Amino acid sequence: MVTRMVTVWLPDWPVVAAGYNGNLPAAVVSANRVVARSAAAAAAGVMIGQRRRQAQRRCPEIELVDHDPARDAREFEPVVRAVAEVSPRLDVIEPGWVSLAARGPAKYFGGDVAVAEHLQHIVAEAGVVVRAGVGVADGRFSSSVAARLSVRHDSPVVVESQQSPSFCAPLPIGWLQTLGESDPEMIDLFTRLGLRRLGDLASLDPADVLGRFGHPGLHAHRLATGIDIRLPSTTDPAPERRLGHTPEDPVAQASAVVFVAKQLADELGQSLAATGRVCTRLVVELETEHGERSERSWYRSTGLNASAMVERVRWQLDAWVNLPRGSEHEITGGVALIRLTPDEVCADVGSQLGLWGGQSEADRQAARTIARLTSITSDEAVTVPVWNGGRLPADRYRWVSASNVDLDERARSVSGADPRSAPTEPWPGAMPAPSPSTVFADPYPAEVLDDAGQLVWVSGRGVVSASPAQFRLMSGGEASGWRPGRTRHIAAWAGPWPIDERWWEPEGHQRLARFQMIIEDAAGGQRGYLIVAEHRRWWVAALYD
């Protein structure tokens, strides 16, 4: 049986948490993308997902703020405490979004509509400057959709019992992405296959969906049909599933509490992974030496890994520490108990990666770091490489401002250059594989000699005067592993590959020959180099490792 749920959602909460009301054009940016904007910015044409410069172009007077999840959680704490007065068993999905079971509150207040109106009232009393959306429906997904539609209708949306399938059927398939239940690639695939509505997906046979799209597709199919099987926990979990730590002395520093929480989260994540499970609902309990307690239930449908658990502990602790002085729940002592409880777990079906790779968590973390550095310095101070194409390794990529690069789409450049297009076909006249691991920005001068010690040269037709036998580096020994001026033996070589390009440009014309050479290093081993001959002079352009 699907549980009836109530969802409270505050639109564009990161902007509200940053201190902006709807009358001022403002937006919160993460990885150079708009994640939330005020009503004034929306009226000016700023949209969620727009890039930073696009938003500034649409609204030049807009104020941009960096995304700070800790700030969002801290400012959301009064709302969570207000909703907890209605039902202590609630799930914080993310700052600005909570859900709770509707059965108990509906009986107490006299129906679903009464509960929804009461929640809107108490959220307004908590000092929130935006009107909360409240939705009631069967299952978390349907109630979350109803809460967002509630904001558009400016009144609570209550879906009658057993009507969630018909409620979801005409909705666009993109709701699955909006609520974080499916990734953009899956939604794009659904759309290209003609499944543009949730009802289109729900009409398919579950076995066919599983065979074609795997477990992520089957999960989306269940939600589209109104079947939300993730029931909220209303009983205490078994004691053996709890992981807690009681310090010898109460901990007064937040960093020390987070450090302990990281150890517990790592242990919890490993124990669940050993049984093929992942935690979807985590209860975090903190207690001080004076008996004050902070307990929160954090939920994420895709599961909480160790880093996500630690992040939520940090949010909860930061919100608790920053409560106003004199508050009923003010913390007055050091933390004496830290406990993590996996209140709901599910089978970890893993994720199907693309056949040719795809974005990883490390890629997303790098994008966030680059965006953060850009906001700290300037748009031009941080540069990233983008595919440019060329016959020499140094020409294949160029450095551009990070603000001109779409960090969320694997560095797709504004000018149209796409790093993903690099491997589709070889660049005409480029060096054969493998590519060098290190490309020197300023090539090192060198000499290539034959067995008699005479300088080797390459004719205009690409003919080598003699077989290269000896190599002498003129400078840059720190990069090659030996002192300049010392002669080394060439164990093997290949080439030449001549280049005669841009003959129509007096300043850009270059005529040279490229060689791949294996040269003995100072330790007696061998290393590969890309050597370039130009105007009877030799240069070390790159290193193979």
Provide the pLDDT for residue 435: 77
Q: pLDDT per residue over 79-102, tens digit each?
A: 998 898 888 788 999 999 999 999
Per-residue pLDDT reduced to its tens digit, 263-276: 999 899 888 888 88
Structure-token pair, residue 13: 């909460």
**DSSP one-letter code for 407:** G
Half-sphere exposure of 452 (CA within 13 A, CB side): 5
Instruction: Kindly report the pTM of this predicted structure.
Output: 0.65
What pLDDT, on a 0 to 100 scale, did the predictor assign at position 398?
Answer: 74
Say if CB 335 and CB 294 are below 8 A apart.
no
Q: Which residues of the chain fall short of a pLDDT of 70?
A: 1, 229-240, 326-328, 349-364, 368, 371-372, 374-376, 378-380, 388-389, 403-426, 476-483, 522-523
- 3-class DSSP state for residue 183? coil
434 upstream amide cis, omega within 30 of 0 = yes
Q: What is the pLDDT of residue 411?
A: 38
Residue 11 CB burial class (10 angstroms; 0-12, 13-18, ≥19): buried
As a residue count, the chain comes to 545
- CA dist 480 and 487 (Å) reads 12
DSSP 45: T
Both tokens of residue 10?
């505050």
Between helix 184-192 and helix 206-224 the angle, nearest 10°, is: 120
Give the strands of the sheet with 4-9, arranged side by side: 157-158, 133-138, 4-9, 97-101, 90-94, 293-304, 277-288, 335-347, 243-245
Contact 16, 5 (CB under 8 A): no
Q: What is the CA radius of gyration of the chain?
A: 30
Q: How far apart are CA 159 and CA 198, in angstroms?
A: 16
Helices 254-274 and 306-321, packing angle to 10 deg: 150
Q: Are 47 and 34 in contact (CB under 8 A)?
A: yes
Q: Is 326 left (phi over 0), alpha (psi -120 to 50) or beta?
A: left
